[in-house]
Structure 1
Amino acid sequence: MVQWRDSKVNRNGVELAVRTWSENKSPSVVLVHGYPDANHVWEKVAERLSQNFKVVAYDVRGAGQSSVPKGRAAYKLRELRNDLHAVLDATCPGEKVHLVAHDWGSIQTWESVTDPGAEERIASYTTLSGPCLDHVGQWMKRNLKDNPAAVLNQLTHSWYIMAFQLPVLAPTLWKAGLAKAWPNVLKRTEKLVSESSPTQLKDGVHGIELYRANMLPCLLKPRERFTRVPVQLIVARQDNYVRPAMLEDLPNWTDQLWRRELDTGHWGPLLQHPEITARWIREFIQHIEGAPASGPLKRAKVNPDQKRGPDSGKVVVITGAGSGIGRETALAFGRRGALVLCTDINTDAAARTANTIVAEGGEALSRKCDVSNTRSMETLAAYVEKELGAPDIVVNNAGIGLSGSLLDTSVQDWQQVLGVNLWGVIHGSRLFARQMVDQAKAGHIVNVASAAAFLPSRMLPAYATSKSAVLMFSECLRAELADQGIGVSAICPGIIDTGIAGSTRFVGVDNEEQQRRREHANSLYQRRAFTPDRVAAAIISAVENNRAVVPVSPEAWGMQWLGRFTPSLARNLAQVEITP
């Protein structure tokens, strides 16, 4: 544990309690807390940052060990701004600092960040769950006309702000027991385990003046507040108080913006995921200080001119993207604004898919990968984590076909089919789910099974077994990852014209017969004319609606129905030898 030093900074009779870690290091990072907190809320993050930087955190006026000023005017943004600069002058004299703030700490420090010439004193700014009130006022004015539903949604989540304007209610609640119950409130609403602060009553009661002194004046008469300070925005996507939509206009107020997201609640970045938060702050500061940007940080840089879509900013990894369902799914996500990583055992095919996405104005990369090979998949996963960060969506699509009786199917045949169809899904799910969990990303995993997963077949023992296993594996994984907010879908296409029939192997026959069967099967699939773009649409719908099992095509629905409601008929049909 890194030791800290406590001190006091006096400004106009108000004493500000300051805690400093690693005083001999540089550059300096200053942390500002929100409401109803004190600087202890930063401890987990500060401990991690102090391995690299000097870290300063202080109790804002009226909170923690700082003194309580008299009068509502003492909590105006300009007073809070001047407190910050008094702390900077006392702890980091003559030094450009990196500022990090959460909740009301962020709201109040926007006042400094948007002051003219702020870039001369503040090297960078990381903001968490606390927008500039002037920016919010501008956003509300615009959206009252263009998107009133978004404003209404935010007002619904900000009900407490109006409650805080009442003269008696909020302070009385804190004094009546809310201060003592606060850890339980966080546990129920945020699923966080925290300890009660000895100054919680003080923090709750006096901090109300922050809202009363600033909210209505800033929101009703918002100023235009630009900044030249590089800004990193960390968005808590499950924030019950600051909805992500309210932060959409930030590119209008700075030309240097990085945006990163965590699937967590309001206090989650500080208390639940301090390792991730500290790493992102560290990467950002080191980049601003001159270090090359990491792959994920490069991806986080906001380009206002970039083509936008419903999946903008998302990373999608697709196996078997060189042809068929994988290719069409890659194109579909590319058109929705996602960065698509197209992988395939066929290097050229993967590159062609990626090039098509780029030619259409999207973002795409390609990589060769053998999904049946553990090392190959682990190499792919390591590349994704380093260069792109945890993916938002993974489509384990790569698959091969095999037809023929069990007695004609060799051990090598079984190993190949299970290696691609089942182990490829296991590898992709295991490796990328780990990244999603570790990076607090509520992503989605799509595993492409088959309608053959619903019914037995005497001529598809290896293929049907592999796809049935994918279906059951997906159901198990869905149950396991539900608590992490990660969705899992099994897609079960029927007869889809993908070209797979032309590459399916038919065991137990000579080459001439195998070629005849391939041609006949391919002709059947082409006559069926159910194209892979329709499966791609079903995959997107499954992700959007978090559907568990998705049959695609009428025959797939029929096979699911037969297997579920008339299993004896399904077993009888399985005995029929159906070959092309």
Structure 2
Amino acid sequence: MAGARERRVRAGEVELCVAELGDPERPTVVLVHGYPDSKEVWSEVAGHLAGRFHVVAYDVRGHGRSTAPRPLRGGFTLEKLMDDFLAVVDAVSPGRPVHLVGHDWGSVQSWEFVTSARAQGRIASFTSMSGPSLDHFGHWIARRLKRPTPRRAGQLLGQGVKSWYVYALHTPVLPELAWRGPLGKRWPAILRRLEKVPAGDYPTASLPSDAARGAWLYRDNIRPRLRHPRPDAHAHVPVQLVTPLGDAYLSERLYDDLEQWAPRLTRRTLPAGHWVPRTRPDLLATWITEFVTAVESGRQGVAPRLAPGRYAERFGGQLVLVTGAGSGIGRATALAFAEAGARVVCVDRDGGTAADTAGRCRAAGAPEAWAETADVGDEQAMEKLAEKVATAYGVVDVLVNNAGIGLSGPFLDTTPEDWRRVLDVNLWGVIHGCRLFGRQMAERGQGGHIVNTASAAAYQPSRALPAYATSKAAVLMLSECLRAELAGRGIGVTAVCPGLVDTGITSAARFTGVDAEEEKRRQRRAARLYGLRACPPEKVAAAVLEAVVRNRAVVPVTPGARGARLLSRLSPGALRALARVKPPL
């Protein structure tokens, strides 16, 4: 771990290698790794936390540069792992409780610490990921065996399949031979291919021997605890649970009843695999920082609250950028993400309306919100924006390319200048956003999501909207192409097709082939019609958040948009016939 100070801590028959970063006078965060890892799994997370906290990571006995017990059998029990933890805490934070973070088996053993009287008073909070309490797991299994409904039986079967590796690790000799042989050599490549874990200082060269010895974590603890789980395994500290929804080894259903055991519980979810300390270190560090800061502020008696909006457990602390955020769908979307606890960058070519939206976002629950002025159709302006956002705020987790303008009128009355204006904003604005911020997401290697606002006009032809519909059809196809290209990088892409929405775009839309007075009359009429028939922008904003959560490709929002989408597939001739109807303007 770059820049870390190392020390050796004696715990009974073993000597533990402990690494420290940051100021020892600040709150201490202890990071406990899992199997078959070493403390280096935390390198990226520790680096992000070190500016705010005293960060400690140690090699669990038998792993990394810590020594192994002799004999191995019986040397990895939860009781001995607690001895190690308490020895480390006494050395690095004497007299002051620490904030505990555990992943995989680091989380499994940490549950033992936070539910045991031996460690009471030595821990201030616990962040758990990808590792349940064996006691809670034992009770979870017992409840489902006692009342095996079809749903519960399916949950048991599903977790049983995911736990295939547990059975393998209980076999004698074979796991050790595999890890010290071909599996140990191929494990880094397996992680990169299946889990998208980046290369670097992890895993360490000690992996084969770490994994071979660490098999005793399973053999010493799994069977006895699952058969005889403790009835009093209640957490005595606030707990933050981070659940990766793509975990190949643990079902999210394992945590359905967790409030029973951890009443001061804060839940977080993210679309990621098992190794989130390596694949999502930025977001993980943000959540740990928020949680620890809330506990340190004096609210130890309650769990830190999430933002009030829907999907707060998913978007809290994430960085979201919305273009066209000064009004309409853009403003509603920025506010929806703010209510979900996201940090929001509000971009609009009108700096005043962007600043107003940013202020509303902070009032709605965003921990931070900023206003930026940019014309999305200006390539250089967007390049400067992307550089500034990355430098000042970080890499965007969710990008919403929403800025757009309307243009109505026959094709033969639409000038080249009209075409350029519409395509610059509606299409090139999306291209610039996807290219610049999408590249940053891809280079970071931690996934993300791009939402492009298209329109029902993208698949619903109209004699009155040739330029607008063309720009939105291009956005729809661009989104589909990008979705295919970026899927392997963990970046989702969604095209949202709102339909009739009551926004300011109608009153500001241009009409070709008419004089200024007639254009104003049509703008007023269009605004009245949309106000009577259209849905509110908040409905589109809600659809955007749900689309990101569910990683949807194309999202028609209004009934009209959904009907047109269905017709475009089942009866395109009917849509072509409707396109010939002259609009009532």
Structure 1 residue 231 displacement after superposition: 2.8
Which residue of 2 is the match for residue 159 of structure 1?
Answer: 164
Structure 1 residue 117 displacement after superposition: 7.2
Q: Secondary structure at the match of 2:138?
A: helix
CA distance in 1, matches of 2:570, 2:384: 38
Distance 1:159 1:377, change over 3 A: same
Q: Is the 8 A contact 1:96 1:123 kept in 2?
A: yes
How many residues are treated as equivalent by the alignment? 552
CA distance in 1, matches of 2:436, 2:24: 37
Q: Deviations over 1:400-434 (max 9, x none)?
A: 342245556484x5566446534564576568757
Q: Secondary structure at the match of 1:7?
A: strand
Q: TM-score, normalised by structure 2?
A: 0.72
Which residue of 1 is the match for residue 223 of structure 2?
Answer: 216
CA distance in 1, matches of 2:5, 2:430: 48
Instruction: Choose 102-111 or 417-426, whichever is displaced more.
Output: 417-426
Structure 1 residue 80 displacement after superposition: 1.2
Q: Secondary structure at the match of 2:84?
A: helix
CA distance in 2, matches of 1:202, 1:467: 57
Aligned match of 1:171 in 170, 176, 185? 176
Q: Is the 8 A contact 1:49 1:278 kept in 2?
A: yes
Aligned residue runs from structure 1 range 166-205, under 5 A:
166-192=171-197, 193=199, 197-205=204-212
Which residue of 2 is the match for residue 471 of structure 1?
Answer: 476
Q: Is the 8 A contact 1:493 1:552 kept in 2?
A: yes
Q: Does 1:552 align with 2:551?
A: no
Aligned match of 1:489 in 483, 486, 494? 494
Distance 1:139 1:532, change over 3 A: same
Which residue of 2 is the match for residue 108 of structure 1?
Answer: 109
What amino acid maps onto 1:219 in structure 2?
A: L
Structure 1 residue 59 displacement after superposition: 2.8
Q: Is the 8 A contact 1:232 1:257 kept in 2?
A: yes
Structure 1 residue 134 displacement after superposition: 1.6
**Identity of aligned pairs, percent?**
39
Which residue of 2 is the match for residue 246 of structure 1?
Answer: 254
Q: Is the 8 A contact 1:7 1:19 kept in 2?
A: yes
Q: Is the 8 A contact 1:323 1:498 kept in 2?
A: yes
Aligned residue runs from structure 1 range 384-463, under 5 A:
394=400, 396=402, 399-405=405-411, 407=413, 409=415, 411=417, 417-418=422-423, 421-422=426-427, 425-426=430-431, 440=446, 442-443=448-449, 445-451=451-457, 460-463=465-468
CA distance in 1, matches of 2:292, 2:545: 37
Which residue of 2 is the match for residue 128 of structure 1?
Answer: 129
CA distance in 1, matches of 2:238, 2:43: 25
What amino acid maps onto 2:469 in structure 1?
A: A
Distance 1:173 1:383, change over 3 A: closer
CA distance in 1, matches of 2:503, 2:11: 73
Instruction: Choose 111-120 or 419-428, whichever is displaced more.
Output: 419-428
Which residue of 1 is the match for residue 8 of structure 2?
Answer: 7
Q: Secondary structure at the match of 1:136?
A: helix
Q: TM-score, normalised by structure 1?
A: 0.72
Q: Deviations over 1:352-393 (max 9, x none)?
A: xx99xx9xxx99x99999985688999999999999996668
Instruction: Choose 155-164 or 111-120, whichever is displaced more.
Output: 111-120
CA distance in 2, matches of 1:23, 1:505: 57
Q: Secondary structure at the match of 2:212?
A: helix
Structure 2, unmatched stretches of 5+, are none
Which residue of 2 is the match for residue 34 of structure 1?
Answer: 34
What amino acid maps onto 1:34 in structure 2?
A: G
What amino acid maps onto 2:225 in structure 1?
A: C
What amino acid maps onto 2:58 in structure 1?
A: Y
Q: Secondary structure at the match of 2:209?
A: helix
Distance 1:284 1:441, change over 3 A: farther
What amino acid maps onto 1:400 in structure 2?
A: G
Structure 1 residue 107 displacement after superposition: 0.9
Q: Secondary structure at the match of 1:266?
A: coil
What amino acid maps onto 2:33 in structure 1?
A: H
Q: Is the 8 A contact 1:48 1:275 kept in 2?
A: yes
CA distance in 2, matches of 1:318, 1:389: 14
CA distance in 2, matches of 1:197, 1:532: 54
Which residue of 2 is the match for residue 137 of structure 1?
Answer: 138
CA distance in 2, matches of 1:450, 1:371: 26
Q: Deviations over 1:479-528 (max 9, x none)?
A: 4432233332335577889997777543332466557767987999999x
Q: Secondary structure at the match of 1:124?
A: strand
Distance 1:574 1:150, change over 3 A: closer
CA distance in 2, matches of 1:134, 1:385: 45
Which residue of 1 is the match for residue 20 of structure 2?
Answer: 21
Q: Secondary structure at the match of 1:508?
A: coil
CA distance in 1, matches of 2:23, 2:508: 65
Q: Secondary structure at the match of 2:62?
A: coil
Structure 1 residue 42 displacement after superposition: 3.3
Q: Deviations over 1:44-72 (max 9, x none)?
A: 44455445544433332333331223263
Which residue of 2 is the match for residue 66 of structure 1?
Answer: 67
Q: Is the 8 A contact 1:134 1:224 kept in 2?
A: no
Q: Is the 8 A contact 1:347 1:367 kept in 2?
A: no
Structure 1, unmatched stretches of 5+, are 293-297
Q: Deviations over 1:5-30 (max 9, x none)?
A: 3424141xx12232333586334333
Q: State which structure, 1 or 2, has the greater radius of gyration over its C-alpha atoms.
A: 1
Q: Deviations over 1:447-483 (max 9, x none)?
A: 22343567585x5443234223323432343244322
Instruction: Choose 317-326 or 398-407, whichever is displaced more.
Output: 317-326
CA distance in 1, matches of 2:311, 2:93: 43
CA distance in 2, matches of 1:541, 1:29: 34
CA distance in 1, matches of 2:127, 2:44: 16
Aligned match of 2:238 in 216, 221, 230? 230
Structure 1 residue 248 displacement after superposition: 4.0
Structure 1 residue 219 displacement after superposition: 2.2
Q: Secondary structure at the match of 1:25?
A: coil
Q: Secondary structure at the match of 1:160?
A: helix
Which residue of 2 is the match for residue 295 of structure 1?
Answer: none
CA distance in 2, matches of 1:390, 1:498: 26
What amino acid maps onto 1:29 in structure 2?
A: V
Q: Secondary structure at the match of 1:126?
A: strand
What amino acid maps onto 1:208 in structure 2?
A: A
Aligned residue runs from structure 1 range 522-537, under 5 A:
none
Structure 1 residue 547 displacement after superposition: 3.0
CA distance in 1, matches of 2:435, 2:245: 24
Instruction: Choose 437-446 or 476-485, whichever is displaced more.
Output: 437-446
Which residue of 2 is the match for residue 509 of structure 1?
Answer: 514
Structure 1 residue 76 displacement after superposition: 1.9
Distance 1:326 1:283, change over 3 A: closer
CA distance in 1, matches of 2:100, 2:329: 47
Q: Deviations over 1:289-314 (max 9, x none)?
A: 4499xxxxx9x9456xx999788644
Q: Is the 8 A contact 1:405 1:461 kept in 2?
A: yes
CA distance in 1, matches of 2:388, 2:22: 36
What amino acid maps onto 1:471 in structure 2?
A: L
Q: Is the 8 A contact 1:118 1:227 kept in 2?
A: no
Q: Is the 8 A contact 1:61 1:69 kept in 2?
A: no
Q: Deviations over 1:174-201 (max 9, x none)?
A: 3453233332332333233366644333
